[in-house]
Chains A and B, each alone.
Chain A
Amino acid sequence: MSLLEVRDVTRRFGGLTAVDAVSFDVHEGMIKAIIGPNGAGKTTLFNVLTSFDRPEEGTVRYDGVDITSWRAHHIVRRGIARTFQNTELFEEMSALENVMAGAHAVTRSGFLAAALRLPWTVREQREVAEESGRLLRLVGLGEWADAPAADMPHGLRRLLEIARALATKPRLLLLDEPAAGLNIAETSALAEALYRIRDRGSTIVVVEHDMGLVMEVSDEIVVLDRGCKIAEGPPRLIQKDPAVIAAYLGEEEADEL
């Protein structure tokens, strides 16, 4: 059984069909890439999968359960985490606090327990701080723990968002263009981080424009063009797929394929 089953998902904005009857599966333990030209509907698809947005048609099943109409925070708590194409960090909070915020999904001290500062909430808090420190080191940001997110360089901010997403203990991690704006060294560090994350037990779906990275890390690729899925398969086959090459013609990425 696949971890994620996307079936005939359609999302329209007025006359524009941003995602058009898209179906695919994600199996546990793989790294799956979603690629496509700008405006292909990749981010919209992520928004639908995480209930940041609602589809007009279609269903999303996760771990055998229909989650299409679930609210976003329930989906995160069930095990699907995400990052954003335009980072959505908590700028005034430190890197460590940002990651600790991610642990919200997997901790339980509520307002009443916190108001009374019950001992178990203090313990929970300490454990969260320790685990968050580990996650920062996992993505290579150990040195930045006390820096406000706003003060961090662009490339590191993307890694911070990944660490925050990992703090929710996701079984499925959705990354929206994690390599955007990264230099070559940072991109290869990212690839290493992705393998480590997968090996810790998270399945990954990554939207990415950096074809070098996509071809290197992904087990399978879904190609979207103007909302429609035009191809799906392992990287070797996708590189040769005539429909894919046609979609990218005129795009800057064509020569990279």
Chain B
Amino acid sequence: MHRNVDIKVAVLLGLIGASVFSVPLLTADRYMLRVLTFVGVNVIIVAGMALLFGYAGQVSLGHAAFYGIGAYASAHVVTVFGWPWVAGVAIAIVLTAAGGLLLALPSLRLRGHYLAMATLAFGEIMRVAFVEGKGVTGGPDGLSGIPFPSFLGIEVDSAGGNYWLVWSAAAAVLLIASNLVRSRAGRAMLALHGSEAGAMSCGMDLTGLKVRVFVISAAFAGLAGSLYAHVVGFISPSTFSLHVSVLLVAMAVLGGTRSLAGPVLAAVILTMIPFADAVIPGLSRSAVETIQEWQEDVYGLTIIAVMLFVPGGIAGALRRIAAKGSVR
């Protein structure tokens, strides 16, 4: 019976993968590809948020800072030092992983609201650093003219190429995350979430566990930051503000706990809301502008509606559908 379910899931994932992959073959609409590329960037970050929040039960209101560190670090070494893009990605991942470690260590003594406050403060400090560190970050005006990603001297400069690059990275990140949650490590994260005393009694090193999850989620955000910087070509502090951290938490909450699919779907939906006209043909420009103006309220209302009417978020709804399917 389990085998059957596994096959169904594999087929479903294959179909989803194939359709995501084929989008640039079916359309040359640059705006749409750009929006969907941006969705892929957020999927990468939300995979880390899902591990951190949905599995390990740890809250971070500062993940936009890791996103920013990755973006600025990568942009800086490529534009100023002239390093290849791959080195920029590597620096982004290493620096954000180290940042995750630095944030995790003092925060470990904190739980719940206090952990949220510490990560919030970290996010604010980094935002100020992005604004004030003009030498590296370009200050409030940001950095522009960041070159496209390139492999062995070949620039990936088409909208389709960027789309494929970002979604390949997203696929790799999701594979790593899904491997993790199905392993001993994933069980430990859930255990930590369920009962800290229980987890300790199983021989789990709670400190080591929390640090690792923090580091992984930070590194994912760093990778996303690097991709964003080089695909868009321009970054400024507002892209990495508290507002973005809150949006990331919203994706994790809306997506639901103990799930990767839920948060990924939430990331897709929430990222698309302000750019609905990219995928809904005939949606007027003014309708989109109205949505963008009310973006925060739409997010807030969505989250409240989900909490009220869809217990367990998208993941909860998916599980209920799956349960119905297996009864039948």
Contact = CB atoms under 8 A, between A and B. Distances in A.
Contact of A117 (B183, B201, B258): B183
A110 B186 CA distance: 10
Given A89-B195, A90-B195, A114-B180, A104 B200 contact: no
A76 B200 contact: yes
Contacts of B191: 90, 93, 101, 104
Interface in B158-201: 176, 179-180, 183-188, 190-191, 193-195, 197-201
Given A89-B194, A92-B194, A76 B201 contact: yes
A218 interface: no
Given A114-B186, A115-B180, A125-B183, A90 B194 contact: yes
A92 B184 CA distance: 16
Nearest to A110: B185
A121 B206 CA distance: 21
A177 interface: no
Residue from B187, B200, B212 whose CB has the most chain A CB atoms within 10 Å: B187
A151 interface: no
Interface in A120-158: 121, 124-125, 128
Interface residues of B, number: 27
Contacts of B184: 103-104, 107, 109, 114, 121, 124-125, 128
Given A104-B188, A104-B204, A88 B198 contact: yes
Contacts of A68: none
A90 B198 contact: yes
Contacts of B216: 111
Contacts of B282: none
Residue from B203, B205, B216 whose CB has the most chain A CB atoms within 10 Å: B203
B190 A121 contact: no
A55 interface: no
Nearest to A90: B194
B202 interface: yes
Given A91-B194, A92-B258, A115-B179, A81 B201 contact: yes
A164 interface: yes
Contacts of B204: 73, 101, 104
A115 B201 CA distance: 25
A52 B180 CA distance: 28
Contacts of A203: none
Contacts, number: 105
B176 A115 contact: yes
A91 B190 CA distance: 10
Contact of A82 (B179, B187, B201): B201
A27 interface: no
Interface residues of A, number: 41
A84 interface: yes
A164 B202 contact: yes
Nearest to B200: A72
A61 interface: no
Contacts of B202: 76, 101-105, 164, 167-168
A81 B201 CA distance: 7
B92 to A, nearest CB: 18
Contacts of B200: 52, 72-73, 76
A93 B258 CA distance: 10
A222 B190 CA distance: 37
Contacts of B190: 90, 92-93, 97, 101
A246 to B, nearest CB: 34
B179 A116 contact: yes
A73 B203 contact: yes
A100 interface: yes
Contacts of A104: 184, 187-188, 191, 202-204
Contact of A109 (B185, B197, B198, B199): B185
B187 A109 contact: no
A111 B258 contact: no
A168 B190 CA distance: 18
B183 A114 contact: yes
B187 A168 contact: no
Nearest to A97: B187
Given A76-B200, A90-B195, A101 B179 contact: no
Interface string B224-262: 000000000000000000000000000000000010000
Contacts of A81: 201
Interface of A: 50, 52, 71-73, 76-77, 81-84, 88-93, 97, 100-107, 109-111, 114-117, 121, 124-125, 128, 164-165, 167-168
Interface of B: 176, 179-180, 183-188, 190-191, 193-195, 197-206, 212, 216, 258
